[in-house]
Structure 1
Amino acid sequence: MTEKFWRGFTNGGFVGHGETYVTEDPIRLPGESSDILWWSKGGVMIGKSPDRIKFLRQIIEAAPGELKPIPLFTWAPFSCVGIEHEYYLGYLNDAQPRSIVIDLPTDASYNVEVIDTWNMTITPLEKKFSGHSLIGLPGKPYIAVRIVRNK
């Protein structure tokens, strides 16, 4: 579920979620049967995705403005949203590259953070990037990159 939220958002979509299982302890309104589906009345989400979806939401809310699809990854089928020349949020899906090459503007420098969307960690890279850049990655699935122009 987490992967679908990241993929949907970084492709420019609005992503939502609903469950269709019967809970063991459903919320009942007077006169309703005991078979109430989660999506019809709400409740507590289960599984490992809810915390990770909240993590994505925090990243979205910290963005500097409205993000739109941007073709940052011209050589690979990865998705990216951002504000051109200012802010990029790219998602590498379930691919496991050890590095990516991106072309940033040459008249500015950028900070890059590697986001592990499953472990919910953000690791800033020490180097500043500009122009044709090679960015080292951990070589595991569900990684995103956040690239922010230095002011």
Structure 2
Amino acid sequence: MNKEKSAIVYYSWTGNTKIVAEVFSDLLDIPIDPIIEKKIRVSGNIPLAALSAMLGLRSTIEPLMIDLNAVTNLFVAGQVWAGHSTPAINSFIHRTDFSGKKVWLIITGADENRPEKVIQKLKSKIINKGGEVVGIYTLKTRALIGNKDIVTHEEVREPIKDWLEQSNLL
């Protein structure tokens, strides 16, 4: 994998996905850029967040700092809300041209089960926009209210490193 043409983008409401994306960035030594919603989402309003995800809504997001036109290896990290992708990830995928890009999905969520429905929907959208989904990493995190008890870099580093090694990315 060409590191100069690689990047990680992520959306994280409570901080778990941010930590996971930072560990990927550190281990792979590639740039990272957050997907930021223009309207700040109120912390702890889980019912509204879940409803917006279930309805497949898209939020208005800020432009990225990374030039995705220069990227051929893209890691996209997001979480699952109520069995669906987040509005910020929906917006990012909707507005991104994935032509010629290899994409790795990084999915976090509080559910014990792998979110196959979410994975298949995201894969389908990325493929329809010209991308090739070449890897999927999922990690169970804690459901949070009020941004408390997020995962730590230390607790996610080994499982991520193991996955990267098994995927021949390290």
TM-score by length of 2: 0.29
Q: Which of the pair is proportionally richer in helix? A: 2
Query: Higher relative CO (CA 8 A, sep ≥ 6), structure 1 or 2?
Result: 2
Radius of gyration: which is bigger?
Answer: 1
TM-score by length of 1: 0.31
